Amino acid sequence: MQPLLLFLHILGACIWVGGHLILLFVILPEARRSQSPEYLLRFEKVYERIGVPALFTQLITGVLLFVALLPADNFSPCHPLAYKLYIKLGLLLLTFAIAIHARFFVLKNLTVAKLPLMHKHVAVVTVISVLFILAGINFKFNLF
């Protein structure tokens, strides 16, 4: 069961991180260059159908993998695995906070003037997404 969970977790990460890299380096620069918020909104509408389920797949599989690896009585931040989970949970909460702000305060009434702010949001979420990958690798290789 764990190999399947890990596969789904990594697949979700590929979709999530890959979509944000495309958004950051392809879609947003073109939207800003052409001064077309609609260009970004079209991508968002399509990507959301696969990106959001990928994120939730990561969340669910991540919790299941963690429960399989760590005994229920060892959630102390001092435990090496629990500490690593708390890093990932912190990144997740930060991602959700930025996503909620973007959804309800930036994308809701996206204008040309708000494109730079959206670009900053996406850049931060993309960096966090890459940090998620490093945090995941840390489970195996103890990078930090």
- What does the pLDDT look like over 69-108, one tens digit per residue? 776 666 677 777 788 888 888 999 999 999 999 999 999 8
Q: Tell me which residue of 84, 78, 69 sits closest to 138, measured CA to CA.
A: 84
Per-residue pLDDT averaged across 12-26, rounded? 97
Which token pair is 45? 């509408």
Band of pLDDT at residue 11, cut at 50, 70 and 90: very high
Give the pLDDT of residue 67: 83
Q: Tell me which residue of 101, 136, 139, 142 sits closest to 118, measured CA to CA.
A: 101
* Identity of the residue numbered 11: L
Per-residue pLDDT averaged across 10-34, rounded? 97
- What does the pLDDT look like over 24-62, one tens digit per residue? 999 999 999 999 999 999 999 999 999 999 999 999 999
Band of pLDDT at residue 142, cut at 50, 70 and 90: confident
Residue 117 parent element (H or E): helix 115-141
CA–CA distance, 77 with 18 (Å, rounded to integer): 31
